[in-house]
A = this chain, B = another copy of it.
């Protein structure tokens, strides 16, 4: 997902272009990591001291609904990042040190459905946590 596409989606759905939304989207475009509402607020407060929780959370929810951002829960906090548009279904390795995210193409769901013949599978979460190459070699 790039920022141009994000604006298209917003416009198509009747959402306006505001400076706050622009700042938020820019922050996501600049990184491949997951960010929290807190991350966003602490940066955006510099440019807009009055920036409020409401603005952040409402916009994050909007972006997720429109498929611009994707979301996961990491130690009790919601984390967001630009939605990947890889053509194939995939999962993520998340570095717990620096936050870097890598795509993993393996997904065992086909196997799984066979094992649960009578269940209606609605979703699944498969995430791998650890340290990435760089962080493994860092001395603590």
Contacts and interface: CB of A to CB of B under 8 A. Distances in A.
Nearest to A121: B130
B111 A93 contact: no
Which of A96, A125, A132: most chain B Cβ within 10 A?
A125
A122 B116 contact: no
A10 to B, nearest CB: 26
B136 A112 contact: no
6 contacts: A76-B78, A116-B130, A119-B130, A119-B131, A122-B131, A123-B128
Given A116-B128, A119-B130, A122-B131, 7 more contacts: A104-B112, A104-B116, A105-B115, A108-B126, A112-B128, A124-B126, A125-B126
